[in-house]
Amino acid sequence: MAVASPVGNDRIATGIDGLDTLLYGGVPAGNQVIIAGGPGAGKTLLSLEILYNNAKKGGSGTFIALEEQESVVIQNFKRAFPSLSDIDDLVANNSLVVAGEEVTPKMEVGSDSESYSFGNVISSIESIIRSNNSKCVVIDSLSLIKLMFDNQALYRKYMLMLSFNLRKLGVNSFLTMELPHSDRGALAFSPEFFIFDGTIVMYQGIEENKRTFSLEVIKMRGSNHSLSFSPYEITNKGFKVFSISEM
Ligand SMILES: Nc1ncnc2c1ncn2[C@@H]1O[C@H](COP(=O)(O)OP(=O)(O)OP(=O)(O)O)[C@@H](O)[C@H]1O
Ligand SMILES: [Mg+2]
């Protein structure tokens, strides 16, 4: 069985240029990490690039797109990163499985069906992960699931259940989350930030009439990590994070 390659000290490298420096080598094995940001921050592309990088090293991965079709997710990745178009080979040999909205159950919004719908989503996610024997998983995004719950206490309970199930499956997971604001000053923490093991936030700012990107690791259980606020770029070859040297 192929597994994602741990880097030293039982860590999974993201393979993202500069991000592993901030993570002191990678994400601790088995951790569940939220990747949060505003629209267009790069949450989908970053999380898929992490799976792509791990699949290239022999670690099987599954990308679960709750709101997009599989073909669209792959097409957007290839258009954004022409240098990484061999993603098709990884998909063809099942090293990387992309499950789009067409394979996840249709979700109903409304209090009567909250538990029922979410139960379906969880079991569908579980069976996709089990059948692919994946060690690295992305769920894009948690925000759709949140919409299913009018009752926030129930939502929190179900997030705990998702966390428990992912832990039981023994996977490393990356869960994207939409933030209503893209600047650092407006960051507010909702329950998910406390439930899951790690949080990476992607911000967008304005500098001299140009939009800028930066990210930070807010927390990573079981690991020390950089506290730097690091600029990043999205290039034709993937993400590049500029880790500032620490004193
Ligand atoms: N080759 C590239 N070079 C520079 N920027 C790019 C490139 N390809 C894509 N982008 C940027 O990436 C953005 C899309 O990234 P992505 O879809 O991952 O964002 P997201 O955070 O998932 O957004 P959403 O909240 O809408 O789902 C585009 O809006 C564009 O700004
Ligand atoms: Mg997205």
* Cβ neighbours around 135 below 10 Å, total: 24
Residue 160 lies in a domain: yes
Rounded to the nearest whole angstrom, what is the distance from the C-alpha of residue 239 to the centroid of ligand 1?
A: 10
Predicted TM-score of the model (pTM): 0.92
Does the Cβ of 72 fall within 6 Å of ligand 1? no
Residue 230 lies in a domain: no
Residue 176 Cα: closest atom of ligand 1? 22
Crossing angle of the two packed helices 70-80 and 43-56, in degrees rounded to 10:
90
Map residue 157 onto helix, strand or coil. Answer: helix
In angstroms, the CA 116 to CA 157 distance is 14
Number of structural domains in the chain = 1
Residue 165 lies in a domain: yes
Residue 162 lies in a domain: yes
Read off the tokens for 195: 């439930």
Which CATH number fits the domain that encloses residue 195? 3.40.50.300
Residue 242 lies in a domain: no
Instruction: Supply the DSSP symbol for 228.
Output: -
Residue 187 lies in a domain: yes
Ligand 1 pocket test target in 34, 45, 48 with most atoms within 8 Å of CB: 45
Map residue 2 onto helix, strand or coil. Answer: coil
Residue 99 lies in a domain: yes
Residue 156 lies in a domain: yes
Among 118, 188, 217, 172, CA closest to 10: 172
In angstroms, the CA 66 to CA 142 distance is 9
Residue 39 Cα: closest atom of ligand 1? 25
pLDDT at 216 over 80: yes
Query: Which residue segment(s) compose the domain that 131 sits in?
Result: 31-203
Query: Which tens digit of pLDDT belongs to each residue from 63-110?
Result: 999 989 999 999 999 999 999 999 999 999 999 999 987 766 555 544
Q: Are 65 and 73 a contacting pair, CB within 8 Å?
A: yes
In angstroms, the CA 185 to CA 121 distance is 34
pLDDT bracket for residue 173 (50, 70, 90): very high
* Cβ neighbours around 40 below 10 Å, total: 14
DSSP string spanning 92-132?
HTTSEEEE-TTTSPPP--SGGGHHHHHHHHHHHHHHHHHHH
pLDDT value, residue 152? 86
Residue 235 Cα: closest atom of ligand 1? 3
Q: Are 124 and 104 a contacting pair, CB within 8 Å?
A: yes
Query: Which tens digit of pLDDT belongs to each residue from 104-126?
Result: 655 554 445 555 567 777 888 88
The whole-number average pLDDT for the span 168-180 is 95
Does the Cβ of 237 fall within 6 Å of ligand 1? no
